Chain A
Amino acid sequence: MNDTVDDRAVVEVDLFSGRPNPRFVLDAEATRVLASLVQALPVGREHEIPDVGLGFRGFRVTLGPSVLLVRGPVVLDETSSATRHDKDRQVERWLSRWVRDHGDPRLARALPDPDPDINHRTS
């Protein structure tokens, strides 16, 4: 796959209320990994999207023609309203890790822990 703009996912961290949210462009390889993670999730008929207020509200990912809202255990395609169930929050954790390692490490403090098991064992 060529590394063109269309191939690369754009990740918006839905975090702030007033100022614009941070946005990152994934490279083609990271986009492929993310897409495969999403596609491996079971499609559900309906999953309730947790409503949240001020603070972290999930990731919004533009992936090809789709805009995905990743919020906890639910991945909602806002363009088609299709939802996938992410019981272990793999996508949310992968995105948190990517933002921490490749985006803006300062934001990691406001994001879900990408490695909760590891941190639990070492704490």
Chain B
Amino acid sequence: MFRATIHMFSGRPDPTWIVVDPAATDSVLATLGEQPETWTARPAGFTGLGFRGVEIEFFGDDHRADSRIPDRVMLADASPDTDLRAAAEVVRPLIEAMPEHGRIPLPEHVLTPPDTRAVTTALRWLDIFVEHPPVVLTPEPIGRGPLRRTVPDRLCSDCQYEISRFNPNFWNADANVRRSNNCYNYGRNWRTNTFAQPGRASGQPLGSVFTGADVVVSAMSDGLRKRCDCLPAEEFPRRMVALVYAPDFEGTGYPDYHWYREQIGGFWGHKPGGGTARNLDNSNTVITNPEACDRGTYTEFHGYFCAGRSVVIV
């Protein structure tokens, strides 16, 4: 006897049903035992909106007498080290049999009955999930792994740069530090406590009105280089940063700019002005692509740049 749940909705209950047929339970246990690559007891797969896998929870405390399957397993959630396509073939007949096994009433059935409509929807979402598997991030835990790593530039094969571990506490713990350092400080990774401005150190400061191109000129005056204009190893550590620009900040008429910095773990960090350093965008989603993330009023993307050790900002 087990309970199956398809993790797919956000607000309404997920489709869930209880299987009491001993033969069906034995069949599932046998399949899981024969195909360990299809499930995990420690889900680390997709957790965003949409299809997120099928969870199976065995009810009896002695089912392990006949198997080595844990009490609770997750299939087809795109966890690393699992075979998503094979898992999809395991869960597909389970989902198809949902109406047949869904006779035991559950509170969730009021809003999400285990009917053919739920089957059709789940299978359609499963197919899309398998055909277009999500990118599952496995960020290294804070406090483990190297502080900094040299990586090749996937867009420019001759270039290398350094990415570092996300360390927001360095910027957030002290209120004075937090309010005295902005996105340019974070991008360059220099905590100057001066609310640094592009070009101020190099005599090419911005005026009160400026364009995105002006920010590029001032930043390059400080020593930043455009991506693919490779920085030599002597410039270690070389930060990969991205510049965006708000031509008319929320209708106020003021322009503003913003920088992101690539971090270890496949995401980007940033520090919105005197606010907190974070790796989330304005939709509270981890930033994996500064070109596509939710940037609010910063609508213009002005490219990637590298900031080496010789870059001075104040």
Contact = CB atoms under 8 A, between A and B. Distances in A.
B251 interface: yes
Interface residues of B, number: 36
B182 A55 contact: no
A67 B182 CA distance: 18
Interface string A1-17: 00000000000101111
Interface residues of A, number: 25
Contacts of A78: 175, 179
B182 A17 contact: yes
A36 interface: no
Contact of A15 (B215, B258, B273, B278): B273
A18 B252 contact: no
A46 B195 CA distance: 29
Contact of B273 (A17, A69, A106, A107): A17
B282 A53 contact: yes
Interface string B204-224: 001000000001000000000
A53 B273 contact: no
Contacts of A85: none
A54 interface: yes
Which of A16, A51, A67 counts the most B-chain CB atoms under 10 A from its CB?
A16
A53 B296 contact: yes
A56 B249 CA distance: 10
B160 interface: no
A53 B278 contact: yes
A52 B254 contact: no
Contacts, number: 90
Nearest to B172: A51
Contacts of A19: 197, 206, 254-257
Contacts of A20: 195, 197
A84 interface: no
Given A17-B256, A18-B184, A110-B251, A54 B274 contact: no
Contacts of B256: 16-19
A57 B278 CA distance: 14
Nearest to A106: B252
A18 B244 CA distance: 10
Contacts of A16: 249, 254, 256, 273
User: What are the 8 tightest A-B residue pairs by CB atom distance, in nearest-first order?
Assistant: A110-B250, A78-B175, A18-B257, A17-B258, A109-B251, A54-B296, A17-B273, A16-B256
6 contacts: A16-B249, A17-B256, A55-B297, A60-B274, A106-B252, A107-B254
Interface of A: 12, 14-21, 51-57, 60, 67, 69, 78-79, 106-107, 109-110
Given A19-B254, A53-B272, A54-B298, 18 more contacts: A14-B273, A16-B249, A17-B182, A17-B256, A17-B273, A18-B182, A18-B183, A19-B256, A19-B257, A51-B275, A52-B275, A53-B281, A53-B296, A55-B250, A56-B250, A60-B274, A109-B250, A110-B252
